[in-house]
Amino acid sequence: MTHECRKLEETFLHAYVDGEFSPEESGEVKAHLAECPMCAHAVRLHQSYKAAMLRANATAPHPFYDDVREGLMHEADPGRWARAFQRPSAIAVAAACAGAALWFLAGGLSHPIFSTHSLIEDGVALHARALPLDYPSSDPRSAQQWLEGKLDFGVHLPRFAQGARLQGVRLSNVNRRQAAVVTYSLPQGDGRRVSLLIVDDPEPHLPGAARRIADREVWLSRARGFNIASWRNDEIVYSLISDLDEQDVLALVQSAEMR
């Protein structure tokens, strides 16, 4: 309990708990601990800290194991390109692609519906996975405040008149761009979940068919059984993703107050 003992403290005792000492050295420390309640306390405190840290470890989602294996499999396959072009079917596919490219260059399509829009792909995936919220909150103002400074762009969390309650927000990425996923629950059913994906997407075309709702250009599309309604506000794209009927989605969008 002397001043000297205090100095010996932390880093030394931490190193002891961290398992940095040889058995002999540890024996000496143990002998000291038996006599010094202050050091013994410090050791127990550090042990409880370490245990709390270990408890905070996460495990990888199960499908991710398969993703990694698949990635390795692909990487390990040395002749993946060479072989692909030895197969007659591949040549046919390549020829068809070249033909399609020519047709497209000649103006075969008025808008690029065939480009898999990552906004939809990623948005639906994010909605379907229902990952935990970074910031659970039912107060749009505090959630918006939380988001500020974490995103490169400003956001407005809309208020929905239809009784959709804010659950919270999480940060994510869409196509390597920062995004926020806002989760709402609806009164109908047992709290059906609606996700609002907010992303600064420079892609000029929003996916789907355009509709005019409440002075807003809204684009409707469907993917993997979900309905998606997207619109822009201050250049930022807002995409509402849910398993609601198109009618209900439109009603919800109509009730959205962006201020």
Partner 1 sequence: MLDFKHTDRTRREFESLSLDHLDALYSAGLRLTKNERDAEDLVQDTFLRAFRFFDKFERGTNMKAWLFKILTNTFINKYRRRVKERTVVEGAAREAGNERFVTREPTESSADPEQYFFDKLLSDDVIRSIDQLPIDFRLVVILADLQEFSYKEIAEILDCPVGTVMSRLYRGRKLLQKNLLEYAVASGVLHGKQALELGAVVEEEEAVEVLEFKRRA
Nearer to partner 1, 8 or 213 (CB): 8
- Restricting to residues 190-229, which ones interact with partner 1 according to CB under 8 A? none
Instruction: List all residues 6 or more positions away from 26 whose beta carbon is below 8 Å from its beta carbon.
Output: 16
By CB under 8 A, residue 131 contacts partner 1? yes
* Binding region for partner 1 (CB under 8 A) out of 71-79, 199-207, 209-217, 227-235: 71-79
Minimal distance in Å, beta carbon 171 to partner 1?
6
Is there a contact between 211 and 233 (Cβ–Cβ < 8 Å)? no
User: In sequence order, what are the beta bridge partners of 195?
Assistant: 183, 241
- Restricting to residues 4-43, which ones interact with partner 1 according to CB under 8 A? 9-11, 14-15, 18-20, 37-39, 41-42
- Distances in Å between the alpha carbon of 146 and those of 67, 80, 135, 154, 212? 32, 46, 8, 11, 31
75, 86, 105, 215: which one binds partner 1 (CB under 8 A):
75
- Secondary structure, 3-state, 180-193: EEEEEECCCCCCCE
Q: Could you give the residue ranges of the DSSP H alpha helices within 106-209?
A: 118-129, 140-147
Is there a contact between 243 and 145 (Cβ–Cβ < 8 Å)? no
By CB under 8 A, residue 71 contacts partner 1? yes
By CB under 8 A, residue 3 contacts partner 1? no
* Binding region for partner 1 (CB under 8 A) out of 60-68, 204-212, 238-246, 249-257: 60-68
Question: How crowded is residue 132: how many other Cβ atoms within 10 Å of its Cβ?
Answer: 7
- Chain positions contacting partner 1, by CB under 8 A: 9-11, 14-15, 18-20, 37-39, 41-42, 44-45, 48-61, 64-65, 67-69, 71-73, 75-79, 131, 134, 149-150, 152, 170-173, 176, 178
